[in-house]
Amino acid sequence: MTETKRQLPSKYDHKEVERDRYTFWVDGEFFKATNDETKEPYSIVIPPPNVTGRLHLGHAWDTTMQDTIARMKRMQGYDVLWLPGMDHAGIATQAVVEAELKKEGKSRYDLGREKFVETVWEWKDEYANFIREQWGKLGLSLDYSRERFTLDEKLSDAVQEVFIRLYEKGLIYRGEYIINWDPQTKTALSDIEVIYEEVEGKFYHMRYPLKDSDEYIEIATTRPETMLGDTAVAVHPDDERYQHLIGKKVILPIVGREIEIVADDYVDMEFGSGAVKITPAHDPNDFEIGNRHNLERVLIMNEDGTMNENAGKYKGLDRFDCRKQIVQDLQEQGVLFKIEDHVHQVGHSERSGAVVEPYLSTQWFVKMQPLADRAIELQKSNDKVNFVPERFEQTYLHWMENIRDWCISRQLWWGHRIPAWYHNETGEVYVGKEPPKDIENWTQDEDVLDTWFSSALWPFSTMGWPDEESEDFKRYFPTDVLVTGYDIIFFWVARMIYQSLEFTGKKPFNDVLIHGLIRDSEGRKMSKSLGNGVDPMDVIDKYGADALRYFLLTGSTPGQDLRFYWERVEAIWNFANKIWNASRFVLMNIDDMEYDDIDLSGELSLADEWILTRLNKTIEHVTHNTDKYEFGEAGRYLYNFIWDEFCDWYIELSKLTLQGKDEKKKQTTLSVLAHVLDQTLRMLHPYMPFITEEIWQMLPHDGESITVQAWPKVNEQFTNEEAVEKMEKVMNVIKAVRNIRAEVNTPMSRKVTMYIKATDEMNEAQLEASRHYIERFCNTDELTIAQTVDVPEQAMSAVVTGAEIFLPLEGLIDLEEEIARLEKEREKWESEVALVDKKLSNDGFVKNAPEKVVEAERKKRVDYEEKLRLIEERLAQLKK
RNA sequence: GAGCCGUUAGUUCAGUGGGAGAGCGCUUGCUUGACAGGCAAGAAGUCACUGGUUCGAAUCCAGUACGGCUCACCA
């Protein structure tokens, strides 16, 4: 149905255009995967955002790319599933809720585990709604009927299944090791959750006295408080300085413990004094050395980072207060004799920012080597995961090749509880989905799993796995593409790949499209502390989701970072406004035209043929580049086609026909206008879904929504390169005239007399055929087109390919200036001719360059020389 | 210490073997009946540097400088 009167306001109102549209799409079920067997499936799973809060520009970027792909594939006839969902984000969410509780002066312990988890669920529900609302504002074509949450019953079942199978296979084990401990959130962390930052610290040099001797051994440390847990001093076995000391005892200052001097290859003789204090309970290397030498492990800290009873008089002090105190004490005792400034890397918790403590603790681990081997093997096969851009495959492989075991237990309450029970008396471990039968004798592990343990299963747990017969799993897994930032290749992409290989035997996705980070206009990371974050919802409010999306899609190339610029978003709003007004023009002219009235079989004007040819080129280019995920290139091409070619040229050219008397031609041109706009809107739709749907609905159309219309195809019938060449010739004449008129300040509104001297019969005929365009665009009152023209001296001239143009503008022309101008022109063409000649007289060029290139140069020479000849003739005439 | 990315117009970024491009900004002119958030014309760049490959390099290779990122157990 199309209304008879199509009146649009002259200003594009993004709020009006975007309001209610999302509801229309969702209610119409246009985004629902159909399981239609006649179509090929295409699937994407969303990287599930954390339920901790609002989406930021990074999310907007990531999801917009996915939406663009999904919308295009849908239009290309695929049965598209884009599966939405969210991540419980264990530590992040728990930290946020705990912070909220703290405001009320409460801690999670005040509530107890059950009540606390309940509170987090409430929080989750609230924020999940926020997130859905934001997805809607962005216009994401998600299939909500399949929305998942990592803590859903089915997904939790998948998590347990994976844990148990890995345990039974010996790929999950429990043990006491040095892990990264966050004393603030009081949980273990995996290696990648630790962020190393350069810190200006101190290097403390100490002398440990030997037992029954006056000798000392010199050691140095950045963490003096750990000396309370020292159980040895190590030197290199080949170090001549210390040969006589190996096996001797040292009296540990303050503590008074006797500790041994051991020999170990790990020690670097060149570094410092060549002797190292060994604290097996607080340093991973020392732990290893401790194992080799059977050393005692003395833990000196509590879980909250305060000192424990093994710290003697320092018990109860915070680790950093203890450091100050112990430094003072050791200095007084003469043990600590030198303090140097020392810049070194200190690990911080990714979430809480607290300084991470290497800490001896019993945790669960995934044995990585066998899983990693399989993933590395995959990349050597023909069936590998394609990273876009390719270089990220190296990043990924490097990490996989240097993999270390993954600590997966977290001392948190929010997450998947570890399905392990310990026998109260025997300490026996039981792992299984169901609790042991004599449950009263068993205690379940208190810990939950690293949140990434469940996200690693996302592409298949969301599709119904472990039920491998479930319809979605069979149809939509493996997925086609995963879109994510380079910052989580290790956290997530890598883990999905090896878990998927292990449990489904397939890679989880064909392609991984990697993007960068969003930065502010000065190139800084957006962060809360800098206060330079931009809320995508503010951008949408000011300029609309379409403008934001187009900005995100075209602002950078794959893998590069993107700076946010309000000015650019505004410029894109202008583009939307341009499209709006071009459409307004079309709608004003087509009256009650229906979709079936669009008829391109009539006599096409030169401009019609030109724009249809250009449309084909655009379809080809945009399709090809969007397929390659080159949204920037595709978007720019479309932008230029719409603005420069369709609006600035074709609409203007079409006015001639529309204002003419020939009704048949008029109908054809109207059809071309409607057709080109329709096809253009379809191509633009994945980029700017709202405005394109709005306009498409007002245009003559067939169907309920543009979201499910067919993607444009090249129509060879309308490719006419000859027409393009002719049209360009006319455009060059028009541009040259505009140029001259600008030179002498003759407004385009003033009518002029004009002569065109064509160089030959063909050019004359072609230009004559386009007389109406030239008359109109050059605003002539009298136009002569001929091979010989009688031109008054008082005229300005210009040469174009195939013709010379004369504008007699008596009174406006200064003959001297005109001569000077033409001489400059002559110089220009002389140097151009020289350049071409240089190339063509180079044997190497003529012999080696492709025939096409050489031919083009020859054509240029003919053209340039003719231009030069015409200018010289004119100059001779003027100088006479 | 290892690896990766970037260096192109005032600015933010495209381009990637055959004559330097876009948006914004700047200059000039336009009440052109879709749009003044517009139209038209223009100024503006030894494409970081040095070598090499090539008939031809901003584009490929090697190195240098500067900026940024990632990984790595140096006490």
For A792-803, how does the pLDDT look when each residue is reduced to its tens digit (9 = 90+)? 888 889 999 999
Minimum CA–C1' distance nucleotide for A270: B74
C1' of nucleotide B17: residue with nearest CA: A849
Q: Are strands A194-209 and A336-349 parallel, antiparallel or unpaired?
A: antiparallel
Q: What is the pLDDT of residue A272?
A: 83
Q: What is the mean pLDDT of residues A648-665?
A: 92
Q: What is the mean pLDDT of residues A620-624?
A: 94
Give chain A's mean pLDDT. Answer: 92
C1' of nucleotide B37: residue with nearest CA: A574
Please report, rounded to whole angstroms, the spatial distance between the CA atom of protein residue A109 and the C1' atom of nucleotide B3: 45
Q: Which percentage of chain A shows pLDDT scores above 90? A: 74
C1' of nucleotide B33: residue with nearest CA: A655
Please report, rounded to whole angstroms, the spatial distance between the CA atom of protein residue A690 and the C1' atom of nucleotide B45: 38
Asked if residue A258 lies in contact with residue A251, where contact means CB atoms within 8 angstroms, the answer is yes
For residues A384 and A264, give the distance between their C-alpha atoms in angstroms, rounded to a whole number.
43
Please report, rounded to whole angstroms, the spatial distance between the CA atom of protein residue A847 and the C1' atom of nucleotide B58: 25
Please report, rounded to whole angstroms, the spatial distance between the CA atom of protein residue A733 and the C1' atom of nucleotide B10: 33
Minimum CA–C1' distance nucleotide for A845: B55
For residues A398 and A124, give the distance between their C-alpha atoms in angstroms, rounded to a whole number.
36
Please report, rounded to whole angstroms, the spatial distance between the CA atom of protein residue A555 and the C1' atom of nucleotide B11: 15
C1' of nucleotide B3: residue with nearest CA: A395
Please report, rounded to whole angstroms, the spatial distance between the CA atom of protein residue A831 and the C1' atom of nucleotide B56: 18
Confidence of residue A522 (pLDDT cuts 50, 70, 90): confident
Give the sheet arrangement for strand A752-758, strand by strand.
A780-786, A752-758, A803-808, A795-800
For residues A375 and A172, give the distance between their C-alpha atoms in angstroms, rounded to a whole number.
18
Minimum CA–C1' distance nucleotide for A236: B75
Nearest alpha carbon to residue A156 among A514, A359, A433, A405: A433
For residues A21 and A136, give the distance between their C-alpha atoms in angstroms, rounded to a whole number.
9
Q: What is the pLDDT of residue A442?
A: 92
Cis peptide before A808 (omega within 30 of 0): no
For residues A61 and A834, give the distance between their C-alpha atoms in angstroms, rounded to a whole number.
50
Please report, rounded to whole angstroms, the spatial distance between the CA atom of protein residue A270 and the C1' atom of nucleotide B1: 16
Minimum CA–C1' distance nucleotide for A747: B30
Please report which helix (H) or strand (E) contains residue A101, including its range: helix A90-103
Please report, rounded to whole angstroms, the spatial distance between the CA atom of protein residue A171 and the C1' atom of nucleotide B64: 49
| Most confident of the ranges A336-345, A647-656, A750-759 | A647-656
Please report, rounded to whole angstroms, the spatial distance between the CA atom of protein residue A386 and the C1' atom of nucleotide B57: 30
Confidence of residue A7 (pLDDT cuts 50, 70, 90): low
Confidence of residue A813 (pLDDT cuts 50, 70, 90): confident
Two structure tokens written together for A865? 């020389």
Number of Cβ atoms within 10 Å of the Cβ of A489: 19
Q: Is the pLDDT of residue A2 over 50?
A: no
Residues listed for chain A: 880
C1' of nucleotide B30: residue with nearest CA: A747
C1' of nucleotide B5: residue with nearest CA: A560
Q: Which percentage of chain A shows pLDDT scores above 70? A: 99
Q: What is the pLDDT of residue A6?
A: 54
Q: What is the pLDDT of residue A5?
A: 43
Minimum CA–C1' distance nucleotide for A630: B14
Confidence of residue A827 (pLDDT cuts 50, 70, 90): confident
Q: What is the pLDDT of residue A649?
A: 95
Minimum CA–C1' distance nucleotide for A861: B19
Please report, rounded to whole angstroms, the spatial distance between the CA atom of protein residue A839 and the C1' atom of nucleotide B60: 22
- Sequence letter at residue A848: N
User: CB-based burial of residue A212 (10 Å sphere; 0-12 exposed, 13-18 middle, 19+ buried)?
Assistant: exposed
What are the tens digits of pLDDT across the range A246-298?
888 999 998 889 999 999 988 888 888 889 999 999 999 999 999 999 999 99
DSSP assignment letter at A558: T
Q: Is the pLDDT of residue A321 over 60?
A: yes
Minimum CA–C1' distance nucleotide for A632: B14
Give the sheet arrangement for strand A258-263, strand by strand.
A249-251, A258-263, A232-235, A275-278
Minimum CA–C1' distance nucleotide for A267: B75
Two structure tokens written together for A634? 């595709």
Please report, rounded to whole angstroms, the spatial distance between the CA atom of protein residue A348 and the C1' atom of nucleotide B43: 52
Minimum CA–C1' distance nucleotide for A741: B41
Four-point Cα dihedral A158, A163, A165, A170, nearest 10: 160
Please report, rounded to whole angstroms, the spatial distance between the CA atom of protein residue A732 and the C1' atom of nucleotide B38: 23
Give the CA distances from residue A540 to residues A226, A535, A625, in Å, rounded to whole numbers and listed in that order: 53, 9, 26
Packing angle between helix A391-401 and helix A494-504, nearest 10 degrees? 70
Please report, rounded to whole angstroms, the spatial distance between the CA atom of protein residue A236 and the C1' atom of nucleotide B2: 26
Q: Which phi and psi (to 5°) does residue A53 adopt?
A: 180, -155
C1' of nucleotide B35: residue with nearest CA: A581
Two structure tokens written together for A42? 């295409």
Rg (CA), chain A: 37
Please report, rounded to whole angstroms, the spatial distance between the CA atom of protein residue A800 and the C1' atom of nucleotide B65: 46
Please report which helix (H) or strand (E) contains residue A563, including its range: strand A562-563
- Sequence letter at residue A545: A
Nucleotides in chain B near protein beta carbons (<7 Å): 3-6, 12-15, 18-19, 22-24, 28-42, 54-56, 70-75
Minimum CA–C1' distance nucleotide for A850: B18
Q: Is the pLDDT of residue A241 over 80?
A: yes
DSSP secondary structure, A257-302, as one string: -EEEEEE-TTS-TTSTTSEEEE-TTS-HHHHHHHHHHT------B-
Q: What is the mean pLDDT of residues A62-84?
A: 97
Please report, rounded to whole angstroms, the spatial distance between the CA atom of protein residue A570 and the C1' atom of nucleotide B71: 39
Q: What is the pLDDT of residue A135?
A: 97
Minimum CA–C1' distance nucleotide for A201: B75
Q: What is the pLDDT of residue A4?
A: 38
Q: What is the pLDDT of residue A1?
A: 34
Confidence of residue A502 (pLDDT cuts 50, 70, 90): very high
C1' of nucleotide B22: residue with nearest CA: A636
Asked if residue A134 lies in contact with residue A54, where contact means CB atoms within 8 angstroms, the answer is yes
What are the tens digits of pLDDT across the range A862-880?
999 999 999 999 989 888 7
For residues A617 and A720, give the distance between their C-alpha atoms in angstroms, rounded to a whole number.
11
Two structure tokens written together for A372? 């990693």
For residues A79 and A35, give the distance between their C-alpha atoms in angstroms, rounded to a whole number.
7
Confidence of residue A3 (pLDDT cuts 50, 70, 90): very low
Minimum CA–C1' distance nucleotide for A573: B37
